[in-house]
C-alpha cells in the first residue's frame, strides 16, 4: 500500500529554508568585505568567518541529540531565533575582536536548527521519495542564495549595516514560518545502541555513516575555503560589490535548475555514486578559476560547477536518512559536525592560502575535495545500495 503522509510539515521546512537562505545569502558576499573595511587582516577574516563553522561543528551533534528529546520543531525555532539575534548584533558599535564571539553565537543557532531540519524531512516523506524531498529543500536553500546575494549587493550601496539587519529579519521570519507550519514534535524513545557506538562499529550503518562523513569532510573543506576567498578573488579580478553578489546568485541558479532532476535521479539511481560523482567532479572544477580572469567566463565555469554540485545534497541525505530509520537527528548531527568542522578548518586556512597567491586556495580545495571522495569509495561500495540499517526499537 502506498505510503501517504501529510506534506504540510515538508512545505513548512521548505518555506523556512528559503526565507533563512535569503537572509544568509545576502550576508555571504558582504561579510569578508565588511571585515576588511573594519581593519581585519586576511587571516582574521578567516577566523571570524570560521567561528560560526566551529560553533556548528561543536553544536550539531548535541543539537541532534536534543532534537530527539526536546523536539525537532522546537530546535528549529530556537536555533533560527538565536542566529537572528546574532546577526543583529553586527549593528552594534563593538570592537572587531568581539565579532568572533558574535559569529560563534550565530553558529550555535544554525547548529541547533540544522540536524532537526534534515531529520524532520525524513519523518514526513516516504523513503522512496526522499530524493525529491531533499531536492525541494536544496532548491529552496539555493533559491534563497540566488535572491540573497543580489539583495545584499544592492543594500550595501546604502551601507553594509543594512545587510545585517535584513539577515536578522529573514532568520526571525524563518523561525515564525517553522513555528506556524511544522507539526507538533514527537519525542522519541531512547534506542538500545547509541549512534556513536554504531558509527564506530563494523555494521552496515557504521560503514555507511563513515562513508557519508568522509564525503562531507571533503566538500566541507572546499566550501569553507570558498566562503572566505571567493569575494576576495572576484574583487582582485575587478568585480564590484554588485557583481560579486551577482556571482553568488548566478552560481545558485543552475543548482536550483538542476535540483529537480537530481532529486528524481536520487530516487531511481544509486544514491551512493551520484553523491560520489558530484563531489569528485565538482571539486576538480576548482582548478580552472586561477586561469580565468574574465568575469563572464568565471561565471560560466561556475554554472557548470553548480550543476555538478546539485546532486550532492539530495543523493547523500536521502541515502543516509533511508539507511538510518531511528535517531536520524543524531545521525545527521554527526554528519553536520563533520561538515561544519571541515568548513571551519577551510575558512581558517582560506585567508592564509589566498595571501600565498590567488591560485593556491583553489588548488588546495580541489585536492582535498577529490581526495576525500576517493577515500569514501570503499565505504560506499561496502554499504550497499538500499535497505534499512537501524530499526526502530521494539
Residue 117 belongs to domain with CATH number: 1.20.1250.20
Determine contact, residues 118/322, Cβ cutoff 8 Å: no
Q: Give a yes or no: residue 391 inside a domain.
A: no
Q: Give a yes or no: residue 389 inside a domain.
A: no
Q: Give a yes or no: residue 388 inside a domain.
A: no
Any idea what DSSP says for residue 186? -
Best CA proximity match to 72, nearest among 185, 190, 176, 188? 185
Determine contact, residues 185/124, Cβ cutoff 8 Å: no
Three-state SS at 311: coil
Any idea what DSSP says for residue 27? H
The mean pLDDT of the chain is 80
- Summarised one tens digit per residue, pLDDT across range 246-291 is 787 778 777 778 888 888 888 888 888 888 999 999 999 999 999 9
Domain residues for the domain of 288 are 8-183+194-383
Query: Is residue 367 very low, low, confident or very high in pLDDT (cuts 50, 70, 90)?
Result: very high
Q: Give a yes or no: residue 22 inside a domain.
A: yes
| Separation CA 33–CA 54 (nearest Å) | 21
Beta-carbon-side half-sphere exposure of residue 299 (alpha carbons within 13 Å): 13
Residue 154 reports pLDDT greater than 50:
yes
Query: Is residue 349 very low, low, confident or very high in pLDDT (cuts 50, 70, 90)?
Result: confident
Number of domains in the chain: 1
Q: Give a yes or no: residue 31 inside a domain.
A: yes
| Chain-centroid distance, C-alpha 70 | 23
Query: Is residue 187 very low, low, confident or very high in pLDDT (cuts 50, 70, 90)?
Result: low
Q: What is the pLDDT of residue 394?
A: 34
Q: Give a yes or no: residue 364 inside a domain.
A: yes
Q: What is the pLDDT of residue 1?
A: 39
Task: Please count the residues of the chain.
Answer: 394
Q: What is the pLDDT of residue 361?
A: 92
Q: Give a yes or no: residue 144 inside a domain.
A: yes
Best CA proximity match to 125, nearest among 204, 46, 183, 41? 183
| Separation CA 72–CA 330 (nearest Å) | 11
Residues 182-207 as b or e (16 or more Cβ within 10 Å = b): beebeebeebeeebeebbeeeebbbb
Q: Give a yes or no: residue 288 inside a domain.
A: yes
Q: What is the pLDDT of residue 188?
A: 52
- Summarised one tens digit per residue, pLDDT across range 352-362 is 888 888 899 99
Amino acid at each position: 500500500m502506498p505510503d501517504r503522509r501529510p506534506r504540510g510539515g515538508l512545505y513548512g521546512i521548505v518555506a523556512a529554508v528559503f526565507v533563512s537562505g535569503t537572509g544568509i545569502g545576502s550576508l555571504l558576499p558582504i561579510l569578508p568585505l565588511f571585515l576588511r573595511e573594519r581593519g581585519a587582516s586576511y587571516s582574521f577574516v578567516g577566523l571570524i568567518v570560521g567561528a560560526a563553522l566551529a560553533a556548528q561543528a561543536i553544536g550539531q551533534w548535541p543539537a541532534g541529540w536534543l532534537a530527539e528529546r526536546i523536539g525537532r520543531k522546537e530546535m528549529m525555532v530556537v536555533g533560527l531565533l538565536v542566529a537572528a539575534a546574532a546577526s543583529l548584533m553586527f549593528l552594534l558599535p563593538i570592537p572587531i575582536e568581539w565579532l568572533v564571539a558574535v559569529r560563534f553565537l550565530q553558529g550555535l543557532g544554525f547548529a541547533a536548527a540544522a540536524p532537526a531540519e534534515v531529520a524532520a524531512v525524513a519523518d514526513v516523506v516516504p523513503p522512496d521519495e526522499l530524493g525529491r524531498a531533499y531536492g525541494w529543500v536544496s532548491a529552496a536553500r539555493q533559491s534563497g542564495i540566488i535572491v540573497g546575494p543580489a539583495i545584499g549587493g544592492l543594500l550595501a550601496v546604502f551601507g553594509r549595516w543594512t545587510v545585517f539587519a535584513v539577515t536578522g529579519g529573514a532568520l526571525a521570519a524563518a523561525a515564525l514560518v517553522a513555528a506556524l507550519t511544522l507539526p507538533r514534535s514527537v519525542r522519541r524513545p531512547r534506542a538500545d545502541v547509541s549512534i556513536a557506538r554504531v558509527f564506530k562499529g563494523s555494521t552496515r550503518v557504521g560503514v555507511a555513516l563513515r562513508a557519508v562523513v568522509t564525503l562531507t569532510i571533503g566538500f566541507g573543506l572546499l566550501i569553507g575555503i570558498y566562503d572566505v576567498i571567493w569575494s576576495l578573488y572576484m574583487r582582485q579580478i575587478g568585480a564590484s560589490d554588485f557583481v560579486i553578489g551577482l556571482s553568488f546568485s548566478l552560481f545558485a541558479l543552475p543548482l536550483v535548475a538542476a535540483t529537480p532532476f537530481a532529486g528524481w535521479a536520487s530516487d531511481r539511481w544509486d544514491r551512493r555514486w551520484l553523491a560520489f560523482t558530484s563531489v569528485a567532479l565538482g571539486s576538480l572544477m576548482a582548478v580552472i578559476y586561477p586561469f580565468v580572469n574574465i568575469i563572464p567566463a568565471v561565471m560560466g565555469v561556475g554554472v557548470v560547477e553548480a550543476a555538478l554540485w546539485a546532486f550532492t545534497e539530495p543523493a547523500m541525505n536521502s541515502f543516509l536518512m533511508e539507511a538510518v530509520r531511528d535517531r536520524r537527528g543524531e545521525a545527521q548531527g554527526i554528519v553536520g559536525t563533520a561538515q561544519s568542522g571541515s568548513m571551519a578548518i577551510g575558512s581558517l586556512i582560506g585567508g592564509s592560502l589566498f595571501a600565498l597567491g590567488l591560485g593556491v586556495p583553489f588548488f588546495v580545495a580541489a585536492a582535498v575535495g577529490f581526495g576525500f571522495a576517493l577515500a569514501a569509495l570503499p565505504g560506499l561500495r561496502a554499504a550497499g545500495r538500499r535497505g534499512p540499517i537501524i530499526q526502530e526499537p521494539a
